[in-house]
Amino acid sequence: MKILALACVGLIQISSALAGQPSQQDRILHKVINAYQLQPLTVQPLTMGAKEQLGQMLFFDPIMGGPKNTACATCHVRSKGSVDGLPMAVGIGSSGVGEQRLESSGAFVIPRNVLPFFDRGKDDFTALFWDGRVQLGPDGRFESPLGELLPDGFENLLAVAATLPQVEPDEMLGRSLRRGGEQQSTYHADLVDNSVDPDDFKQRTLNVYSNLIKRLVGDANANTPAKARYQELFHAAYPEANAYTITQVGNALSAYISLAFQLSPAPWDRYVKGDVSALSEQQKQGAMIFFGKGRCAVCHAGNEFSDFKYHGLALPQLDVGRHGGYLDYGRAKATGVAADRFQFRTPPLRNVTRTGPWGHNGLFNSVEEAINHHFNPIPLMYAAQKNRPREAAIAGRLLISRSPILAEISPMSASEVGALVSFLQSLESETVLSTKEALPASVPSGMNQFILE
């Protein structure tokens, strides 16, 4: 009789949800929503104006890279969830997108997983990149690796961040002759003057900023069809400007990215507004775990599901390191604080199920694997050490850096992990701007190979 009674309760809850009436689980979840002060996603009224059109061209045009074989669109592909689908990005010296970029023997691997662009133009984002090297400071100023040398005129954090890939040697800039840039596909060409020390980041960056503007718009004595077209686009976007600078490039890229990758509300947002039929029963169970037993919302908070702070997951380092052999110090490289080693910014979770592989080095091949590692890092760490002595040598340091928040998570069953993944699928939604509207017909340089859906 007790089993029958429980079955009847379950049927009543399911039928209530189907009928649009809140079940006991719905009532509990809405108490949680109120406690966390969650709000449904709002859509900003953005349109494709002159600044966005300029940003669109800059986003897809390989003229932005030193060797002219990379663009923003190289790694941020709409059909791949605004990422490239690779564990780690592939920069200069390659061609194509996604797995095609692994086929070039002269390609340079960027030892970080590509971060998505979804909603990056919103004020919720107070830190960008895995290590937060571009962030909103306590006084409201933009902080970046350039420090006090950051040019004035950037409109938002995204505009600052959008001008950094162009100055990274292996990402878009290319290398100097003395650092292995003899191949045309890896040389930075005219973007770095011979008088500039290529190892001096600040000097190099400011030099690239100046030379990139010359490459784009030039002057009346050195005109080309591409420069003439960019002069028209810059003038339309900034009709009052007497001269153009890198800040206008960043602001235009930010305007386009904010428009092209802004998300529409997801099923979760409809549920928050009161539509109890917007989520399946499994998704509701997953939400209960997310905000309860799983303690996910401690770090994955707010409308974008991130606290924009830094935490350690004890994620194996693998054989490629951003900061020397086998090491990626994460946040510590941006702050210079030893206690920040191996910490990375909390990833936002909207559309997270579409943006794999996951983790700062792309180690997770599934969302389930990422969740399991949060409450038990040992299996993945052990597997990584089998053929990597260096990995075993730093395992203790990685475990010490593991966030104490994770110690409070109870182990989960496979069904609970499945429910949690199902909940994350309720955060999926499409961009407000359609792919047809987001893609240009061509770019001024005529190099159209990255205009892909």
Question: Does the pLDDT of residue 4 top 90, yes or no?
Answer: no
DSSP string, 34-53: HHTT------------HHHH
Say if CB 204 and CB 167 are below 8 A apart: yes
16-43+264-425 falls under which CATH superfamily?
Cytochrome c-like domain (1.10.760.10)
pLDDT tens, 233-253? 999 999 999 999 999 999 999
pLDDT 10s digits, 295-341: 999 999 999 999 999 999 999 988 777 776 678 999 999 999 999 99
The whole-angstrom separation of Cα 338 and Cα 369 is 29
**What residue spans define the domains of the chain?**
16-43+264-425, 50-263
Q: Are 428 and 351 in contact (CB under 8 A)?
A: yes
Q: Tell me how far apart the alpha carbons of residues 57 and 116 are, in angstroms, rounded to a whole number.
A: 19
- Distance in angstroms (rounded) separating the CA atoms of residues 155 and 131: 21
- The residue among 8 and 65 whose pLDDT is bigger is 65
Would you state the pLDDT for residue 5?
A: 41
pLDDT at 6: 39
pLDDT at 106: 83
Looking at the predicted structure, is the pLDDT value of residue 13 above 70? no
Residue 427 has pLDDT above 50, yes or no: yes
What is the three-class DSSP state of 389? helix
Residues 40-56: what's their mean pLDDT? 97
pLDDT for 325 equals 66
State residue 453's pLDDT score: 82
Fold for 50-263, please state it: Cytochrome Bc1 Complex; Chain D, domain 2 (1.10.760)
pLDDT the model gives residue 314: 96
Other CB atoms within 10 Å distance of the CB of residue 168: 18
Q: Using CA atoms in the order 352, 355, 360, 362, what is the torsion angle rounded to 10 degrees?
A: 130
Structure tokens of 61? 């045009």
**What per-residue string of b and e applies to 425-437 under the rule 16 or more CB within 10 Å gives b?**
bbbbbebbbeeee
- pTM, two decimals, is 0.93
Report which residue type is found at 265. P
Report the percentage of the chain scoring pLDDT > 90: 82
Q: 281-291 and 24-35 are packed helices; what angle lies between their axes, rounded to 10 degrees?
A: 40
| pLDDT tens per residue across span 104-155 | 888 899 999 999 999 999 999 999 999 999 999 999 999 999 999 999 999 9
CA distances from 390 to 153, 399, 422 (A): 45, 15, 37
Higher per-residue confidence, 189 vs 84: 84
* pLDDT reading at 70 higher than 90: yes
pLDDT at site 218 = 87
The pLDDT-based confidence of 262 (bands split at 50, 70, 90) is: very high
HSE-CB at 73 with a 13 A cutoff on CA atoms is: 29
pLDDT at 9 over 50: no
Q: What is the pLDDT of residue 198?
A: 84
Q: Return the sign of the alpha-carbon dihedral for residues 387, 393, 398, 399.
A: positive
User: Rounded distance, CA 406 to CA 311, Å?
Assistant: 10
For residue 120, give the amino acid letter: R
386 vs 379: CA distance, rounded Å = 11
Of the two residues 389 and 425, the one the predictor is more confident about is 425
Bridge partners for 143 per DSSP: 135
Alpha-carbon span 159 to 248, nearest angstrom:
9
pLDDT tens digits, residue range 149-201? 999 999 999 999 999 999 999 999 999 887 777 788 898 888 999 999 888 99
pLDDT number for residue 11: 39
Q: Provide the pLDDT for residue 76.
A: 97
Alpha-carbon span 389 to 391, nearest angstrom: 5
pLDDT tens track for 284-306: 999 999 999 999 999 999 999 99
* Residues 397-420 pLDDT 10s: 999 999 999 998 989 999 999 999
Average pLDDT, the chain: 92
pLDDT at 221 over 70: no
How far is residue 123's CA from residue 127's CA, in Å, rounded to a whole number? 10
Residue in 290, 306, 265 with CA at minimum distance from that of residue 427: 265
On the 0-12 / 13-18 / 19+ scale of CB atoms within 10 A, 181 is buried
Domains 16-43+264-425 and 50-263 belong to one CATH topology:
yes
pLDDT exceeds 50 at position 1: no
Compute the distance between CA of residue 1 and CA of residue 88 in angstroms, rounded to an integer: 56
Residue located via tokens 């203790």: 396
Comparing 331 with 12, the larger pLDDT belongs to 331
How are beta strands 134-136 and 127-128 bridged, if at all?
A: antiparallel
**Amino acid 220: pLDDT:** 59
- Extended beta strands in 160-269, E state: none
Gap between the Cα atoms of 273 and 25, Å rounded: 16
